[in-house]
Chain A
Amino acid sequence: MPLSAPLRVGFDYTRSLGPVLGHFMTELRARRVVGVRGSDGRVHVPPVEYDPVTAAPLSEFVEVAAEGTVVTWSWMPKPLAGQPFDRPFAWAMVRLDGADTPLLHAVDVADPSAMSIGMRVRIRWAADPIGGITDIACFEPATNPLPTTYPQFAEPSTTPTRPSPQPAGADRLARGRPPGEGGGRAGDVTMVTTPIHLDVVHSVSPEESKYLRALAHGKLLGQRCPKCHKVYIPPRGACPVDGVPTTDEVELPDVGTVTTFCVVNVPFLGQRIKPPYVAAYVLLDGADIAFLHLVLGCAADEVRMGMRVRAVWKPAEDWGTTLENIDHFAPTGEPDAPYETYEGHL
C-alpha cells in the first residue's frame, strides 16, 4: 500500500468588491437588500456588475424586500463543512419581492415537508452583520413569528469598523470584513474575506512509498529507469525522459556533491532557520538527479559548487518516513569534485 497522509489546504481569500457588489454588501450590513436593473429591465438579486445577456455595465440599484417566494429547493440531510447549518436544512432559490432573479441561500426548516415551491419566506438577519452574504443568516418561513428585537444597528456611514467575530451556529460562516479604506463613502464595505479550507488525503506513488519507508530505516533508496538507466532519488512513477516507472532499486550513500546553491537572506513565513543560510542541490554519489536540502556546518559564504557534503542525520529515534530525517548536509572536508563530474546535472 502506498503511504498517504491528510492535508488541509487553506487560504483566506481577500477580494475587493467594486462599486456594485460593494454597495450590495454595504446595504446588507444595514439589513437592506438591493438589486441592480439589467438591460432588459429585470432586477438582479444579488446584483451583477454586467448584464448577463448584453454585458452592459449596470449601475441602477433597486431596493427589494426582505421577503420573497421559493422558486426551487432541495433538501440537505447531512450538511457539509462551511454550510449555513450543521443540522438538516433546505437550500432554496428565493425571489425576493421586487426582484426578478432568485438568490441562492438556506432555509431553516426542520423537515422537507415544510418546503414547497411558491412558499413565502423572509430573511433572518445575522445578529452582527458586517457586509457579506452571510449577513443573511438564512431564510425562514414567513409564517414564523417576527423576531421581537434585532440588535440595534446604525446607518452605514456611522457603523464602526470592527474585526470579524468568530460566529457560532448559523453564523459560523466566512464573514465579510469592513475595510479601513477604499472607495465609496467612508465606512462602505469594499472588501470581503472568505476563508477557504479543503481537506484532502494525499498518496505518494508506490515508488516514492518504498523510498520513504527506507528513509525510516536510515537508508537512501533510489530506483533506476529501465530504459535510460538513470538513477532517480526519489524514485518516480514515470521517468521524465521515458515516461515509464522506475524499477531496479539502488541504495545510495549519504555522501554527495553540491551542484548549485543559493544563500537565503530573506525572512519568510514559516522559516525555521535564521538567515543567512544555504539551500543547495545535493547530487548523491551514484544518483543522476540532485535534490534540494540544507548545507550547514560552515559559513554560508564558504559553500561552493563542487563542495563534498555528507548527511547529518537526526537521532534514529526521531526518524519517520521523511527526508527530514536528514537534518542537513555538512562539508566532508574532501577536495571539491571536478566540475565535469556534475556539469550534466546543472
Chain B
Amino acid sequence: MAVVGFAQAPHVRATEGTTNGVEMLVPVFAELFAETGLTKEDIGFWCSGSSDYLAARAFSFIAAVDAIGAYPPINESHVEMDGAWALYEAWLKIRTGEVDTALVYGFGKSSAGDLRRTLALQLDPYTVAPLWPDSVSIAAMQARLGIDAGLWSERAMAEVAARAHGGDAVDLLGEPYIADPLRRHDCAPITDGASAVILASGERARELRERPAWITGIEHRIDSGSLGARDLTTSPSTAASARAADVDGVEAAELHAPFTHQEILLRQAIGLGDDVSVNPSGGPLTGNPMFAAGLSRIGEAARLLFDGLHGRVLAHATSGPALQQNLVCVMEAR
C-alpha cells in the first residue's frame, strides 16, 4: 500500500470560513483529484479526523462531508483524532481487501476559540481539567524537566526554532518567555488548516504515481492518561511505535512536534542520528493546524519520495498532552 497523493490548505492564523472545514477542503480535494487523475467516484473509502470541541458544534464532521459531494452515498468514517489516525483506519480498510483506494483528510479551525483552553479538556476530567491547565503550560513543564535532566537546553531549543524559521538562536534567546521556560519561538503557531492524502493498494498505486510512497510500517501506541505517572522526558509510546514500524535506514523524518523541545525529545526517543534530515518541510513550528498537522507529516514525508529526494522516510504524528499518543509511519520508494 502506498501514499499516492497529498494536498493541504494554506497555513493561516485565521480563516474566514466555517468550523466545518468545507471552504478549506473543497480546493484541497480538487487539487488531489487533479494531481492523481482520480474522481470522487474512484475513491473506495473516505476517512476524516477532526474535533467537535475545536469546532464548538456537534457533528461538525458531518457538515464537512458536503465538501466531498457525498451523493450517491459514500463509504465513510471519522475519528475524533488527528487525520493521521484516520489514515491508520483507512490503511486497515484497504488491508481488508474491501477497497483499493482511500482518501483521508483532517481539518481544524483553531482560531474560532481559545486553543489553549480547548486543549485543557483532553485532560483527566476529575483531577486535572477542573484547573484548566493549558497546553502551553503543560509543555513548558515538560521542557523544564528535560532541561533539568540535561537532555536539551534552551539554546538547543532555540536552534530548532532557528532552523524552522530562519534567524539566529542567540538572538532568539533574548526574547521574553511566554510560559517560562518556553519562548514564543518554542511554540507552534495557532493555525487554521486542512490536509488530505490518497492511499492506494499495490497495482492501483503504480497506475496512479510513478514513485508512490510505499508504507513499510505504521504503528501507534499511547501512554498513560495520568500525567504524573509518565516519564515526561521521553516518549515510551513513540519509541515502541518506532521499534514496531522498523525505522532503520530512514533518511528524513517529519516529526509532529508542536514545541521545540519535543522535536529533540522525539529524535532521542526514535533514535534518529544526526545524518537524518528532520522536518525539511519546516514542520509544525511553521504551521500546526489541529487534526491535520499529523496527517500533513505523512503527506510531506511522502512528497520527499514522490520527488525522488529520498529513498526511505519516517512520519510521526502526535495527540494528547505532552506527546501522550504517537503514530509512526515508515515509507520507502521502490
A→B interface (CB under 8 Å): 1-2, 7, 9, 13, 15, 17, 21, 24-25, 38, 42, 44-46, 48, 52-53, 71-77, 80-84, 91-93, 101-106, 112, 117, 132-134, 173-174, 192, 194, 196, 198-206, 236-245
With A72-B144, A134-B130, A238-B66 known, 18 other A-B pairs at CB within 8 A are A1-B16, A25-B126, A53-B224, A72-B148, A74-B140, A76-B137, A81-B117, A91-B133, A104-B141, A106-B131, A112-B177, A133-B131, A134-B131, A192-B126, A199-B114, A202-B112, A205-B22, A243-B26
| Shortest beta-carbon contacts, A-B, top 8 | A243-B69, A74-B140, A52-B224, A101-B228, A82-B132, A75-B180, A200-B56, A46-B127
Q: A74-B179, A200-B112 are in contact. Are A15 and B66 (CB under 8 A)?
A: no
Picked from A42, A77, A83, A206, the residue with its CB within 8 Å of the CB of B131 is A83
- Nearest Cβ distance between residue A201 and chain B, in whole angstroms? 6
Determine the chain B residues whose CB is within 8 A of the CB of A102 once the complex forms. 228
A196 contacts which chain B residues (CB < 8 A)? Answer: 121
Given contacts A52-B226, A73-B141, A80-B116, are A243 and B134 in contact (CB under 8 A)?
no
Cα–Cα distance between A117 and B70 once the two chains are bound (Å): 55
5 contacts between A and B (CB under 8 A): A74-B182, A80-B134, A83-B134, A173-B130, A173-B131
Residue of B with least CB distance to A103:
B228
| Closest partner residue, chain B, to A3 (CB atom) | B16
Q: Within the assembled complex, what's the spacing in Å between the Cα atoms of A306 and B152? A: 72
B18 partner, pick from A15, A132, A202, beta carbons under 8 A: A202
Beta-carbon contacts under 8 Å, B158-188 to A: 177-182
Give the CA-CA distance A45 to B127 in the complex, in Å. Answer: 10
Q: Complex Cα distance A102/B144, Å?
A: 15
Asked whether B66 lies within 8 Å of A204 as measured between CB atoms, the reply is: no
CA distance A7 to B129 in the complex (A): 21
Closest CB of chain B to A62's CB: distance in Å?
A: 15
Output the least CB separation between B35 and chain A (Å): 16
Which of chain A's residues have a CB closer than 8 A to the CB of B141? 72-74, 91-93, 104
Is B22 in contact with A17, judged by CB distance below 8 angstroms?
Answer: no
CB–CB B70/A240 < 8 A: yes
B:85-124 near A, CB below 8 Å: 112-114, 116-118, 120-121, 124
State whether A205 touches B117 (Cβ < 8 A). no
Q: Is B128 an interface residue, CB under 8 A from the partner? A: yes
Do B117 and A104 touch across chains, with their CB atoms under 8 A apart? Answer: no
- Name the distance in Å between A73's Cβ and chain B's nearest Cβ: 6
Check if A240 sits within 8 Å of B69, measured CB to CB: yes
Q: Are B133 and A203 in contact (CB under 8 A)?
A: no
B181 touches A74 (CB 8 A): yes
Q: Are A77 and B113 in contact (CB under 8 A)?
A: no
Q: Are A75 and B117 in contact (CB under 8 A)?
A: no
Partner of A243, one of B68, B137, B140, B229: B68
Residue pair A84, B69 in contact (C-beta under 8 Å): no
Whether the pair B113, A200 counts as a contact (CB closer than 8 A) is yes
Q: CA A103 – CA B128 in complex, angstroms?
A: 9
- In the bound complex, residues from chain A placing their C-beta under 8 Å from that of B57 are 9, 202
Task: Assess whether A101 is in contact with B144, with CB atoms less than 8 Å apart.
Answer: no
Choose one: A7, A21, A38, A205; the contact of B23 (CB below 8 Å): A205
In contact, A74 and B131 (Cβ under 8 angstroms): no
Contact A72 B145 (CB under 8 A): yes
CA distance A74 to B136 in the complex (A): 9
Question: Is the CB–CB distance between B22 and A238 below 8 Å?
Answer: yes
Q: How far is the CB of B196 from chain A (nearest CB, A)?
A: 12
From A2, A91, A200, A202, contact of B137 by CB (8 A): A91
CA A80 to CA B116, docked complex, whole Å: 8
Interface residue from B134, B178, B228 paired with A93 (Cβ < 8 Å):
B228
Find out whether the CB atom of B68 lies under 8 angstroms from the CB atom of A133. Answer: no
- Knowing A17-B126, A71-B145, A240-B66 touch, does A77 contact B228 (C-beta < 8 A)? no
Inter-chain contacts of B40 with A (CB < 8 A): 243
The reply to whether B113 and A21 form a contact with Cβ atoms under 8 Å apart is no
B127 touches A174 (CB 8 A): no
CB <8 Å contact, B18 and A203: yes
User: Which A-chain residue is minimally distant from B136 (CB atoms)?
Assistant: A74
B122 to chain A, nearest CB (A): 12
Q: How far is the CB of B140 from chain A (nearest CB, A)?
A: 3
Q: Scoring B residues 293 to 330 as 1 if CB is less than 8 Å from chain A, else 0, what string do you get?
A: 00000000000000000000000000000000000000
